[in-house]
Amino acid sequence: MTTRDKCELRGTYLPGQDRVIFTDGKGIGVRKDYNGVLLLDTILQTPVNKPDDPVKLELLLSEALLLQQSLRCVELPGVDQTSEVLQELCVRIKEAQANTKKGTKAQKWNTVCLELPHCALKCVCSGLVQELKRQNRHIPALTIASAINERLNCLLPLFPSEGAPADRALMFSEAARRDTFVKWPHMNYNAVMMAAFVVALKQEYRLFDLGICFTKGKSFAIYHGTTGWALPDQMAQAGFYHQPNSTGDDRAMCFTCNVCLVCWEPTDEPW
């Protein structure tokens, strides 16, 4: 395969990570499925040099429609680029609808690709997130706009480093919440709980062979779905993001309110 500028395009699938990787010899991009769809048109997009540089943003057609509907109904004080974004959405949505193919799978893979200045998309989507939060309206467009903000931040040359304070405005995205747990201090909870299973089995059934105890404990954990421990994936799914401070290095914040929890135990479940 070749790109539009005639560069050779190579790609492969990473089964261990469930991702695809592509390169044209100049850049490299990695993608995993997004709601069952691979957004490949922008996989080799590079970071912007300045805020008004144009960027391409892929969206599912269903997401573009929800975003368009919200921007038409919600007034964004102090944001001047709303009409520009709405006009681009309208054009791209019409193009996508005109090219809609029959079949559930084909419709699912129907996407739109917006092309606008980075600052325009950023201002509008950030403003939408803030206004919906102010109105306490937890609608699908809130998650969509927050996810767009996260993707736009990744295109900035000075993307926040690991361990930097989390931007709460982005925490409506589960992926953004998951990224805050890079230094979560309780990554050994699986081992702790497994050790507890082994000890309990040894005492209950008087099993002296640790190998048998471990095997039975592992089977028990899998059978009973013991996967709700306070680990990064589960914490992010439950709505928490990691923001350590002087009160505790395991301080977890709720993305919709001001609740914070510290001093997590191995038996705690984020749900």
Q: Pick the more confident residue, 97 or 167.
A: 97
Q: Which domain holds residue 250?
A: 181-261
User: How confident is the model over 4-32, as a mean pLDDT?
Assistant: 85
Domain boundary residue, one of 124, 159, 194: 159
User: What pTM does this model have?
Assistant: 0.60
238 pLDDT more than 50: yes
Does residue 18 lie in a domain region?
no
**Please, what is the end-to-end C-alpha distance for the chain in angstroms?**
46
pLDDT in tens, 190-211: 655 555 555 555 565 554 454 5
At residue 30, what are phi and psi to the nearest 5 degrees?
A: -125, 140
Confidence of residue 219 (pLDDT cuts 50, 70, 90): very low
From the list 172, 199, 174, 175, the residue with the least C-alpha distance to 266 is 199
Q: Confirm if 174 and 150 have CB atoms less than 8 A apart.
A: no
Q: Pick the more confident residue, 222 or 145.
A: 145
What is the predicted pLDDT for the residue at 159? 46
d(Cα 49, Cα 13) in Å, to the nearest integer?
Answer: 30
Number of domains in the chain: 2
255 and 214, same domain (yes or no):
yes
200 and 125, same domain (yes or no):
no
94 and 132, same domain (yes or no):
yes
Does residue 235 lie in a domain region?
yes
DSSP state of 168: G
d(Cα 183, Cα 161) in Å, to the nearest integer?
Answer: 12
pLDDT in tens, 28-67: 888 888 878 888 888 888 888 888 899 999 999 999 999 9
267 pLDDT more than 80: no
Residue spans of alpha helices (H) in the chain? 61-73, 82-98, 104-108, 118-134, 140-154, 174-179, 189-205, 210-223, 232-237
54 and 141, same domain (yes or no):
yes
Residue spans of alpha helices (H) in 23-99? 61-73, 82-98
Out of 38-47, 79-88, 154-163, 196-205, least confident range: 196-205
Question: Tokens 């681009």 identify what position?
Answer: 88
d(Cα 9, Cα 26) in Å, to the nearest integer?
Answer: 10
Tell how far CA 89 is from the center of its chain. Answer: 22
From the list 189, 127, 176, 174, the residue with the least C-alpha distance to 150 is 176
136 and 198, same domain (yes or no):
no
Does residue 164 lie in a domain region?
no
Q: Pick the more confident residue, 269 or 218.
A: 269
Q: Confirm if 152 and 54 have CB atoms less than 8 A apart.
A: no
Does residue 63 lie in a domain region?
yes
Does residue 70 lie in a domain region?
yes
